[in-house]
Amino acid sequence: MEDRLIESLGQYFVYHKIRERYGLTFEQFIEKWERGVWRA
């Protein structure tokens, strides 16, 4: 995966407080995003 994409997803993860709201680690979030199953 491209560094810019990981950085963008990281910013999204932090800004939207994915860990706090959904209990996902960044790695879990990335896996869901890659499989196309991520829904906020």
Q: Does a structural domain hold residue 22? A: yes
Q: Does a structural domain hold residue 40? A: no
Q: What is the pLDDT along the chain (40 residues), one digit of tens a residue?
A: 899 999 999 999 999 999 999 999 999 999 999 999 998 8
With tokens 């800004």, the residue in question is 15
Does this model's pTM top 0.85?
yes
Q: Number of folded domains in the chain?
A: 1
| pLDDT value for 16 | 97
**What token pair was written down for 14?**
């932090």
Q: Does a structural domain hold residue 31? A: yes
CA–CA distance, 2 with 21 (Å, rounded to integer) = 26
| pLDDT value for 31 | 97
CB 22: neighbour CB atoms within 10 A?
15
Contact 10, 26 (CB under 8 A): yes
Please give the residue range of the domain that contains residue 9: 3-35
Q: Does a structural domain hold residue 12? A: yes
Query: What number of helices (H) and strands (E) belong to the chain?
Result: 3, 0
